[in-house]
Amino acid sequence: MLGALKGGVINSGISIRKKKIGSWFDRVTFTKILVVWICIVLLFGLLYYVFAGDKSNLHYSATQKKVDSLRDSVYFSFVAATTTGFGDIVPAGSFKMVSIVELIFGLLILAVVTSKLVSIKQDAIMAELYEISFHEKINRLRSSLLLFRQNINHLISEVEEGIIKKTRIHDLEFYISSFGDTLREVSNSITRPDQNEFIKGLGPLDTELLLNSIISSFEKLEELVDGFEKKNIRWKTETNLASIKKVMGISENIFDRLPQVKSLMENTFHELGEHYKKTSKELRERIEKS
């Protein structure tokens, strides 16, 4: 068991390191990569120039003369880093190993650039797919809230016409339960506690529309309860009351945390909060009335 625990800790550590590396790679820009590459070329060029000697040096292949200028040393460094290999300047002695090291650095940076290009293309595709999925989710939530209001409207019409059946009153529990599921999704979308740069947040318009839809849904529910009372229809079963109290608890959590939603203006969430308090207060008074 101890071995399994150690293995879990090790795997967790590896996973964290991978996430850090991935996060670092996402933040690296082409400008930074280019600066690093230029610095490497200049550093090795300076090394070839400063540490040149009788045994380790650069020399021209045509004349066999040693390279004694910084410009040509940097030129060879550039040729080595880009794996071009013109052959007009060649290394001798330990500089052969140094040029191999520079070649490896050049290939590694080339691999980083290639991976970055592929990553950018993938990110663009994923961003587009995520955007579509995100808007589909918002539309689905708004559609669910609209469907709830439509179902409640049908019940209101049946109550007013005096044709409502007992089975339809039992359907109220199902409607409210579905409403609660939608509210949980809205709560996770609006007041997500772990938002970061990779998670898209709701814009002010979508947030306001969803909150207004929630308030309208509770207004419809309050209108239905009022209709039940006026027609003396017995609807207050334990399950119906418990379901309503549960969805009110979820919605109160949403509106209580509105100040944390940075996308909303202060006056906007204040108005929405006051509107919700008024509606929820009226509904609560009706369901608690004996």
Question: What residue has token string 């290999």?
Answer: 85
89 and 147, same domain (yes or no): no
Judge contact between 99 and 80, C-beta under 8 A. Answer: yes
Compute the distance between CA of residue 280 and CA of residue 239 in angstroms, rounded to an integer. Answer: 19
Q: Give the model's pLDDT for residue 72.
A: 92
pTM: 0.59
Res. 2 pLDDT band, cuts 50 70 90: very low
Same domain for 175 and 258, yes or no, is yes
Q: Which of 121, 155, 177 is the last residue of a domain?
A: 121
Q: What is the extent of the structural domain holding 173?
A: 126-288
Residue range 41-69: average pLDDT?
A: 90
Is the pLDDT reported for residue 14 higher than 80?
Answer: no
Which residues, in sequence order, are CB contacts of 57 under 8 Å at separation 6+? 66, 67, 91, 92, 93, 95
* Residue 246 pLDDT > 90: yes
Percentage of the chain beyond pLDDT 70 is 82
- For residue 22, tell me if it sits in a domain: no
* 138 belongs to a structural domain: yes
Instruction: Tell me how long the chain is.
Output: 290
4 within some domain = no
Confidence of residue 263 (pLDDT cuts 50, 70, 90): low
How many domains, the chain? 2
- Which of the two residues, 247 and 34, has the higher pLDDT score? 247
Domain harbouring 254, CATH code: 1.20.58
Same domain membership, residue 61 and residue 84: yes
Same domain, 174 and 271: yes
Q: What is the spatial distance between Cα 154 and Cα 168, in angstroms, rounded to a whole number? A: 10
Long-range CB pairs of 126-134, under 8 A, 24+ apart, other chains included: 130/200, 131/200, 134/200
User: What was the pLDDT predicted at 19?
Assistant: 53
Q: What is the DSSP string of 213-259?
A: HHHHHHHHHHHHHHHHHHTT-----HHHHHHHHHHHHHHHHHHHTGG
Arithmetic mean of pLDDT over the chain: 82
Kindly report the CATH number assigned to the domain that includes residue 114: 1.10.287.70
- Give the lowest-confidence range in 62-76, 102-116, 117-131, 258-272: 258-272
Residue owning tokens 């009788």: 54
